[in-house]
Amino acid sequence: QPLIRQICQDSGTPGLAIGIFDQNGTVTDSYHGYRDVSMKLAPNPDTVFNLGSMCKGFTALAVACLVSDGKLNWDDRIDVYLHEELRGMPNGKFTIRELLSHRAGLCRSDALFIGSNNDLLLTKAQGTDIFASLDASRPPRQDFIYNNFGYHAVGRVIEQASSMNYGEFLSKRIFKPLGMKRTSTELPPTWDDNVAKAYVPYHNLEPRQVPAPRISDDTVGFSAGGIRSCMRDLLIFYSVLL
C-alpha cells in the first residue's frame, strides 16, 4: 500500500482502483486517492472508469464468440465483411488475426483521431476510411506495431457479422450473461456521480481536470477503447477468462 501511494504521488495520479487474482483464485482489491479531487470522493468497487485499451480484450472475446457461432474465422480477410468500405483498398487484405495481434505492419496514427481536450477528430465512418488508407511501416506479420485503427476495423467486422452494433453485441453476449451491470459502451448518464473524472498531471504533478474521453459505441475507435466499467465488473470478467 505505501508503494502504491508513492507511485501515485510520483506520477501525479489522483486516484485508482487495483484488483489482483493470485494463483489460488483469491481476489485482492484496493482503492486509492480520489475519483473526484475537488469533492474529495474516493473510488470504490462500483466507480466507473474509462477502460481505454483494456477494451481490446472484450473485442477479441466478441470475435471468439462469433467464431464459435460459425460466423467468423480468425484468418478471414476483413474485406469479406467490409467489402463496400474497403473495396479495392490494399488494407482489406489483412486478416482478423493480424489486426487483433497488431501484426499488420500499419503505422499507428493515433494523432489523426485524438485532439486536444480529448476531442475526437473523426466520425465512426471516417475511422474506417482512415484505416483503409493507412500506410505500412513494416511488412505484414514481421513486427508488433500497436494500431488502434486495426481494432476499429475489427469492430466493424463484428457489427457486420452479428447484424448488431458493437455495444449491443457485447451487452447480449458478455455483459449481461456475466452480470456486469455497470459496464457499457455508452457515455455515463449525467445522474451517476460514481464515475471517475479525467485528470492530467501538470509539470508540478498537480492533477488538472480535463474533459472525459467521449469515445463510445458511435465514435471512431469504439472497439479499441470505447468501454467503461468498474472494478467489481472487471473482476467478474477476468475471473471467467482465467
Per-residue model confidence as pLDDT tens digits over 66-86:
999 999 999 999 999 999 889
- Grid cell of 23 as nine digits: 494463483
- pLDDT at position 87: 83
Domains in the chain, ordered, with CATH? 2-241 (3.40.710.10)
Cell numbers 482502483: residue: 17
Beta strand segments in the chain, E? 15-21, 27-33, 49-50, 198-201, 207-210, 228-229
- pLDDT at position 199: 95
Instruction: Tell me the sheet residues that pair with 50.
Output: 228
- pLDDT at position 36: 97
Residue 131 contacts residue 149 (beta carbons within 8 Å): yes
Task: Report residue 241's pLDDT band, with 50, 70 and 90 as the boundaries.
Answer: confident
What is the pTM assigned to this prediction? Answer: 0.93
The rounded distance, in Å, linking the Cα atoms of 86 and 90 is 8
3-state secondary structure of 20: strand
- pLDDT at position 68: 98
Rg (CA), the chain: 19
Task: Report residue 154's pLDDT band, with 50, 70 and 90 as the boundaries.
Answer: very high
The secondary structure element, H or E, covering residue 235 is: helix 231-241
Q: Is the pLDDT of residue 24 over 90?
A: no
Q: CA-CA distances (angstroms) from residue 26 to 16, 31, 137?
A: 20, 17, 43
The chain-wide mean pLDDT, for the chain, equals 94
More confident residue, 20 or 242: 20
- Grid cell of 144 as nine digits: 508488433
DSSP 219: B
Q: CA-CA distances (angstroms) from residue 83 to 106, 161, 196?
A: 20, 12, 39
Residue 8, C-beta contacts closer than 8 angstroms, at least 6 positions apart? 14, 15, 16, 32, 33
The string of pLDDT tens digits covering residues 162-217 is 999 999 999 999 999 999 999 999 999 889 999 999 999 988 899 999 999 899 99
The rounded distance, in Å, linking the Cα atoms of 222 and 225 is 6
Q: Tell which residue, 77, 112, 118, 116, has the closest CA to residue 97.
A: 77
